[in-house]
Structure 1
Amino acid sequence: MPDRNRTRVSRRLIIATAQAIAEKQGVDAVTMRRVAEWLRITPMALYRHIADKEDLLRALLDRSHADMPPPGPHVDPRVRLLALVRWHHASLARHPWAIPLAATGELFPQVGVCSLYNFDRAFRESGLDHREAAQSLRVLWRFLIGDLTQRARRPRAVDRAQESFEEDLGRIIDALLRRPGR
């Protein structure tokens, strides 16, 4: 006779549980064992749906961006760059637990692969070569992660921080594209 109290496990449920753990205890608390404990199943049961912890963390990063649609296409590469950075910033700001995952640069979730392509394309359309585009993306990503990390430490200063973020972002992109400030 089937056990009616048994949790019906799915990839979606596992990822949602991992997110709940990250939100309550921080992303470092997300382990396969802890997720299994929360679901009241054995850790081995998770591996039918999740390859390993890295797969789970990638899925968490994708989930951190899922509640906001990505920016639409823009003809002007500068406008596209601004929109991409703002989108990542807003998505990660809504999910502070994801900032350390994004900061490492070691995990490439699906959203990251698409963003890399869009960033590279915008930089290349602006006249940068492949090496310059990669360097420029690193500068923008470090700026974004630095801003988010500071905000997480000082949440009261968010309003002023948003104004300076926007101003600094425009200046950085102009400098990277070798444009005079506007």
Structure 2
Amino acid sequence: MIFSAKQLANATTSFENRFRLAYLSSGFEPTIAIACKSHLLITNAYRGMPIKRHFLGAADTGKEALELVSRLMPNILAIDDNLPDQSASSVISQAKQMRPSMRIIGWVTKLDAFFGYPDCPIVIAEADVLGHPDTLTFATMALISNTSYLSPSIHQRLGQLEQRAPDVYPGTITLTPRE
């Protein structure tokens, strides 16, 4: 099931209650590592959440992120697509080899970096996620409650792709209702 930020916001009245509800009902014990060029701001966003004790650490580069994953074995990796030394898809691929059950929160400026990773259900497509701490919060809540969050910009892009898709593909056979 995919929830929008608005649906999650309307679920209950206070953020902390919503987060605790998602956390308690999931049975999932989150441990979070962050790989982001500007990780200090993201780290502060996570430290403001009710799961502070589950925050393991942050890395500036893909190499540091992989070392963090190897050493601390988090079950959530929040990753940026603008790491200076490696692509996000490369880091995700290597991290998933180390810990296949790890969940991914990706915030991207280039959607192509995450398409092709269907097992990474959380993608935030914003020009600057640092200006959208609520989006990061809702994505984390969705992940912990085992649902998905896609930002409005991804919904819009997927809608555009669907509209451009042809109704009939070359080489296909059209069946009658009886067939």
Q: Same fold (TM over 0.5)?
A: no
Question: Larger radius of gyration, structure 1 or 2?
Answer: 1
- TM-score, normalised by the number of residues in structure 1: 0.27
The structure whose RCO (Cα within 8 Å, separation 6+) is larger is 2
* Larger fraction in helix: 1
- TM-score, normalised by the number of residues in structure 2: 0.28
